[in-house]
A and B are shown apart, each in its own frame.
Chain A
Amino acid sequence: QKEVEQNSGPLSVPEGAIASLNCTYSDRGSQSFFWYRQYSGKSPELIMSIYSNGDKEDGRFTAQLNKASQYVSLLIRDSQPSDSATYLCAVPQNTPLVFGKGTRLSVIA
């Protein structure tokens, strides 16, 4: 069974701090990785994708990929209360995206 693992949280950080969300995956052949944000009662929204080892930055978000360690992370700088949501890591396994169970982030004002 190919898996995507995340800590369920909740992860609580103060406003303005860096939030670090982590994800590990089991399929060494995976080539692309996605982070989705899901607000309570809403559907998931794609916020970041990463395909190569290293860092990819987009505004306050940075995705980090280490294929050797089968590890992908999402950093949120200057966290805001509006960032409070569940963050889902997703990895294509053959064709469908396999999602982790998500990490619930709470940013405290």
Chain B
Amino acid sequence: GAGVSQSPSNKVTEKGKDVELRCDPISGHTALYWYRQRLGQGLEFLIYFQGNSAPDKSGLPSDRFSAERTGESVSTLTIQRTQQEDSAVYLCASSPTSGGSFGYFGPGTRLLVL
């Protein structure tokens, strides 16, 4: 595909369940970012991957959140023991260069924790 894709587009889960969100970046993009956007709020940085370097996890809000990326391909964001405050849109972006340059966003995954 031409752009960043994310799946699922919507996810409804019960409190305490684990969820896994997927991001397929644009082919050849070395950098990949995850952000969270709560309703009516700004973008909150979660984690950043650059090639095979150690990821920048400084934005992860708790140890219930983790993310993986293999090389320069797909990334998964996992939220364990979901809480209602985890409800948000989770956005993935990829970038063709390192150094925090601009990013192309995917359509997001809308997560609702009941």
Contacts and interface: CB of A to CB of B under 8 A. Distances in A.
Interface string B5-42: 00000000000000000000000000101010000011
A95 interface: yes
A34 interface: yes
Interface residues of A, number: 21
Contacts of A99: 35, 42-43, 45
B71 interface: no
B108 to A, nearest CB: 5
Contacts, number: 55
Nearest to B108: A43
A23 to B, nearest CB: 12
A46 B62 CA distance: 29
Contacts of A70: none
Nearest to B58: A96
Given A46-B103, A97-B102, 11 more contacts: A43-B105, A43-B106, A46-B102, A92-B99, A94-B56, A95-B48, A95-B99, A96-B33, A96-B56, A97-B33, A97-B93
25 contacts: A34-B102, A42-B107, A43-B89, A43-B105, A43-B106, A43-B107, A45-B105, A46-B103, A88-B42, A88-B43, A90-B102, A92-B99, A92-B100, A94-B56, A95-B31, A95-B48, A95-B98, A95-B99, A96-B56, A97-B93, A97-B103, A99-B43, A99-B45, A101-B41, A101-B42
